[in-house]
Amino acid sequence: MHVARVIGKIISTVKNPAYENRKLLLVQKLHLDGKPMGVATVAVDYVDAGEGDFVLLGAAPGLASTVFNIPDAPIRELVMGIIDRLSFEDERKEIGNSVKPEI
């Protein structure tokens, strides 16, 4: 699982049947210091996350099949949870929806 941030959404009409009636989000995976990791990816929403939310991103073959109970769903990234707060024992910066942004 990765820490990620929802940066937007994708509208798609023509799609594989496994994606029907599912919300597609554009998410950016993050390093634990809040810096972006790679380019933004497309993820299926499972927890009703919104734009700007810090989320838990599951990315493994078979994960979506288990969650949606569809055999062999061709879905890789799945938004599995919303992060309220991610704090560290050391001095690292906290991440999360309930953490006030720095001004």
- Binding-residue pattern over the window 78 to 97 for other proteins, x denoting contact by CB under 8 A: --------------------
In terms of DSSP bridges, do strands 24-30 and 54-59 run parallel, antiparallel, or are they unpaired?
A: unpaired
Minimal distance, residue 98 CB to other proteins, in Å: 16
Question: 8-22 burial string, b = 16+ CB within 10 Å, else e?
Answer: eeeeeeeeeebbeeb
32, 61, 85, 88: which one binds other proteins (CB under 8 A) = 61
Between 26 and 81, CB nearer to other proteins: 26
16 CB-near residues (< 8 Å, 6+ apart): 74
Least distance CB 90 / other proteins (angstroms): 20
The pair phi, psi for residue 25, each rounded to 5°, is -115, 150
Interface residue with other proteins among 1, 16, 84, 85 (CB under 8 A) is 16
Residues 27, 31: Cα–Cα separation, whole Å? 13
* Binding residue (CB under 8 A) for other proteins from 2, 23, 26, 81: 26
